[in-house]
Amino acid sequence: MAQNTNQNPDNQKKGFWGKLISGPWFIALVVLIVIGSISMGGLFSSSNQVDTNVGVQLLEDKKVTSAKIYDGDQKVELELKDNYTNSEGRDLGKNLTFYYVEPRANDVVQAMDNADLESYTDQPVENNWFLSMLSFIAPLLIMVLIFWFLMTRMGGGGSQIMNFSKSKAKKFNKDNPTVRFADVAGVDEALAELEEVREFLAEPEKFTRLGAKIPKGVLLYGPPGTGKTLLAKAVAGEAGVPFYSISGSDFVEMFVGVGASRVRDLFKEAKSNKSAIIFVDEIDAVGRQRGVGMGGGNDEREQTLNQLLVEMDGFDGTSNIIVIAATNRPDVLDPALLRPGRFDRQVGVDAPDLKGRQRILEVHAAGKPIDRRVDLASVAKRTPGFTGADLANVMNESALLTARDGANVIDERAIDEAIDRVMAGPQRSSRIMSEHERKVTAYHEGGHALVAAALRNSAPVTKITILPRGRALGYTMVMPQDDKYSTTRHELLDQMAYAMGGRAAEELIFHDPSTGASNDIQKATDTARKMVTEYGMSAKVGSVRLASKESDPFLGGGAGAGNNYSDEMAFTVDQEVAQLLETAHDEAYEILRDNRDVLDALALALLEKETLLEKELAEIFSKVRKREERAYWYSKNNRLPSDLPPVKAPSELEAEKERAGSAPAGSENAGGQDDAGSAPGENHGDDETEVIVQQPVIDPDTTPNDPPATDINNPWDGGR
């Protein structure tokens, strides 16, 4: 995400005239002038033309000193002894030209032979090869030029070819960022690591004095928009060193060798500084494993990667350069990149937690007039799963909305609307839905919400709306109270049932389901498949990892890598997935059937008010008949769960003692299932705990006028 200004000196020196001279029209003009002047040369010559008879007569009368005969042009130039005066009495001077036709060539030659000339030149036809070549090539050249012009005008893919020659001009950006560490919030671990990098840059002697080698590369990895670029800039800003940035995708050109030469240039220029940071965004574009993927890999990419490695290995003591690279896909990187001496420092940059979100909001609220009643902590609470970029966007949108309304302070309402916008796109008030469609949407969203409310492991519903927004016809938002760092099997099952709630309601009420549930089904299917192939949550399949890390053959996994298990297993997986989905569908259906009165009340309230918030929802849901707990799950008959509860944490014991002291102790639920006691950081000793943020169900727009909602461009895909 390079937002720096292009500081290439060549580009600035090249002023108006430079641009004009390099423009295709100028070249076309030059070509035309050359052709014109050559072919019209005859017109500008000083000799006058006379009739063929006259010319031959002059020769026969021996009035000519010299003659030159142009064979191909069938033209003769004469130089006379005296001036020639024509029949009208006009003096035509000494130099005359005449033309002849082929049948008369013999007469002309004969006349010349007999003319006692002092000099006589036979100009052969070859003399005109240049002109004839040009007249042949010129139209072609003009066509190419026009083509070029159109291509550059369109700016489409084709222009890349033409830009090849210019590729040197915009290869990378140089910047002296003013970003500070204080501008990056909610990524404290990453900041701590990078603070060290800043020290390396600012006072390398401190480390080299002790014989330490300064690291050459830092890899920042994490989801998009979490502030990787911002962090890298902040390091440069804090250390006061220049910041060179380039994106990995810029390296991968259509011409082999360009990428490698860009790497060379980039490092050469960076090395002219005492210290510098080179930032390579999207390094996975060049840094994918070599020699894999469809067609055995990409020469250009490999050359570029090799060059990068060579340059990094080639750092000497004279300049102090640290390469910071960023990627969303650390798993596909070539291991050679991660070796010591290269990107051996790897820093994870995750989506921020509750506190982090609040601090990012504070960073972006600075300098904006915000209503005193706005509580950024509660805004942070309402935005689980948002990245730094999303939050920056929320604050910016709220300012824009406020400005549009002509107000002076950003209030709660503007921020609310901004959150919705960032989540699901702008409101579409212009869209008029038919009463029936509104009703279907109300039941659909009501179905989601009611299922969530009736299940025991689902986060509470905080908002439902049937106002169309972005690509959604309506949406339901459930929000966990706390940040969650792992998800249990029951919670996943609840999520699937919740996703099926919309479809189940349509079936139950209208007997004719709509296409509006496609996104729900997709999400539920993804969850089910992961449960079976990644989370080991199917008894039949067992705790086996079946999904391959890299299932896209084009991204370097190799064809067939997606199926590293037998066909029988694939069959079982499919069966298990289908089974999970069926069960979820059943659960949703039963909940809705058993709570029909609540569903109707909910739909009615939605049709009336369009948007329902927590308070109104709590009232409607007070009548919900909760679904009973599912049976214990165990993966095998000989692995039955124990009846003994887990031990109580010291803090729990403490709290119990206090309660016992102040009031006669009621019988405390000994199940140990009390969530409040478990610290959010607790992750069962497993470093790779999956974070599953529950997202709102957004129901894609599927009115007949629009193409059916597909998964492409769906912002709700790909773990945000």
Ligand X SMILES: Nc1ncnc2c1ncn2[C@@H]1O[C@H](COP(=O)(O)OP(=O)(O)OP(=O)(O)O)[C@@H](O)[C@H]1O
Does 701 interact with Zn ion (rule: CB under 5 A)?
A: no
The backbone region for 296, taken as left when phi is positive above 0, alpha when psi lies in -120 to 50, beta otherwise, is left
Which spans in 314-352 are helix H?
none
Is 562 labelled as part of a ligand binding site? no
Q: Which of 177, 215, 227, 293 binds ligand X (CB under 6 A)?
A: 227
- Residue 647 near residue 678 (C-beta atoms within 8 A): no
DSSP states of 273-323 as a string?
Answer: SSEEEEEEETTHHHHBPTT-SGGG--HHHHHHHHHHHHHHHT--SSSEEEE
Q: Which of 389, 504, 524, 692 binds ligand X (CB under 6 A)?
A: 389
Residue nearest to ligand X (CB): 388
Q: Which of 97, 128, 229, 519 binds ligand X (CB under 6 A)?
A: 229
Q: How far is the CB of 697 from Zn ion (least distance, A)?
A: 5
Q: How far is the CB of 442 from Zn ion (least distance, A)?
A: 12
Does 326 interact with ligand X (rule: CB under 6 A)?
A: yes
Judged by beta carbon distances under 5 to 8 A according to partner kind, the member of Zn ion, ligand X, none in contact with residue 184 is ligand X
Q: Which of 179, 699, 702, 716 binds Zn ion (CB under 5 A)?
A: 699
Rounded Cα–Cα distance for residues 219 and 282 (Å): 11
Q: How far is the CB of 557 from Zn ion (least distance, A)?
A: 32
Is 490 labelled as part of a ligand binding site? no
- Residues 174-203, one symbol each (x = binds ligand X by CB under 6 A, - = not), give ----------xxxx----------------
Half-sphere CA count of 560, side-chain side, radius 13 A: 3
Q: How far is the CB of 422 from ligand X (least distance, A)?
A: 12
Does 248 interact with ligand X (rule: CB under 6 A)?
A: no
Distance from first CA to last CA of the chain, Å, rounded? 18
The backbone region for 291, taken as left when phi is positive above 0, alpha when psi lies in -120 to 50, beta otherwise, is left
- Residues 409-428, one symbol each (x = binds Zn ion by CB under 5 A, - = not), give --------------------
DSSP states of 68-98 as a string?
Answer: EEETTTTEEEEEEEEEEE-TTS-EEEEEEEE
Is 222 labelled as part of a ligand binding site? yes
The first and second tokens of residue 18, run together, are: 């430079």
Half-sphere CA count of 61, side-chain side, radius 13 A: 11
Site for Zn ion in 517-576 (CB under 5 A): 520
Catalytic-role residue among 193, 311, 445, 506: 445
Residue with Cβ nearer ligand X (224 or 672)? 224
Is 224 labelled as part of a ligand binding site? yes
Does 360 interact with ligand X (rule: CB under 6 A)?
A: yes
Residue (of 376, 356, 355) closest to 366 by Cα position: 376
Which spans in 94-164 are helix H?
105-113, 129-154, 159-163
The first and second tokens of residue 305, run together, are: 């990667």
Q: Which of 230, 235, 280, 588 binds ligand X (CB under 6 A)?
A: 230
Of 138-146, 191-199, 354-362, 699-707, the window that binds Zn ion (rule: CB under 5 A) is 699-707
Angle at 651 between CA 648 and CA 656, to 5 degrees: 75
Rounded Cα–Cα distance for residues 68 and 95 (Å): 11
Q: How far is the CB of 716 from ligand X (least distance, A)?
A: 17
Interface with Zn ion (CB under 5 A), residue total 4
The first and second tokens of residue 43, run together, are: 């017109």
Is 334 labelled as part of a ligand binding site? no
Is 444 labelled as part of a ligand binding site? yes
Q: Which of 23, 93, 204, 224 binds ligand X (CB under 6 A)?
A: 224
Q: With the C-alpha atoms ordered 524, 527, 530, 531, is the resulting torsion angle positive or negative?
A: negative
Judged by beta carbon distances under 5 to 8 A according to partner kind, the member of Zn ion, ligand X, none in contact with residue 427 is none
Which spans in 373-484 are helix H?
376-381, 388-404, 412-424, 435-454
Q: Exposure of 265 by Cβ count < 10 A (0-12 exposed, 13-18 middle, 19+ buried)? A: middle
Does 320 interact with ligand X (rule: CB under 6 A)?
A: no
Of 192-200, 226-234, 267-275, 501-509, the window that binds ligand X (rule: CB under 6 A) is 226-234
Is 353 labelled as part of a ligand binding site? no
Q: Exposure of 388 by Cβ count < 10 A (0-12 exposed, 13-18 middle, 19+ buried)? A: buried
Does 1 interact with ligand X (rule: CB under 6 A)?
A: yes
Rounded Cα–Cα distance for residues 515 and 500 (Å): 13
Rounded Cα–Cα distance for residues 539 and 635 (Å): 5
Q: How far is the CB of 360 from ligand X (least distance, A)?
A: 4
Is 696 labelled as part of a ligand binding site? no
Judged by beta carbon distances under 5 to 8 A according to partner kind, the member of Zn ion, ligand X, none in contact with residue 224 is ligand X
- Residues 476-515, one symbol each (x = binds Zn ion by CB under 5 A, - = not), give --------------------------x-------------
Judged by beta carbon distances under 5 to 8 A according to partner kind, the member of ligand X, Zn ion, none in contact with residue 520 is Zn ion
Residue with Cβ nearer ligand X (199 or 350)? 350
Site for ligand X in 548-567 (CB under 6 A): none
| AA identity, residue 182 | A
Q: Residue 324 belongs to what H/E stretch?
A: strand 320-327
Judged by beta carbon distances under 5 to 8 A according to partner kind, the member of ligand X, Zn ion, none in contact with residue 502 is Zn ion
Judged by beta carbon distances under 5 to 8 A according to partner kind, the member of Zn ion, ligand X, none in contact with residue 226 is ligand X
Q: What are phi and psi of 361, to 5 degrees?
A: -60, -40
Residue with Cβ nearer ligand X (1 or 27)? 1
Of 52-60, 97-105, 131-139, 222-230, the window that binds ligand X (rule: CB under 6 A) is 222-230
Counted residue by residue, the chain has a size of 720
Q: Residue 25 belongs to what H/E stretch?
A: helix 24-39
Rounded Cα–Cα distance for residues 332 and 561 (Å): 13
Does 261 interact with ligand X (rule: CB under 6 A)?
A: no
| AA identity, residue 198 | R
Of 108-116, 199-207, 219-227, 482-490, the window that binds ligand X (rule: CB under 6 A) is 219-227
Residue 445 annotated among the catalytic residues of the structure: yes
Binding positions are: 222-229, 444, 448, 520
Binding positions for Zn(2+) are: 444, 448, 520
Q: Just list the catalytic residues.
A: 445
Which residues sit at the interface with ligand X, rule CB under 6 A? 1, 184-187, 224-230, 281, 326, 328, 360, 363, 388-389, 392
Which residues sit at the interface with Zn ion, rule CB under 5 A? 502, 520, 697, 699
Binding positions for ATP are: 222-229
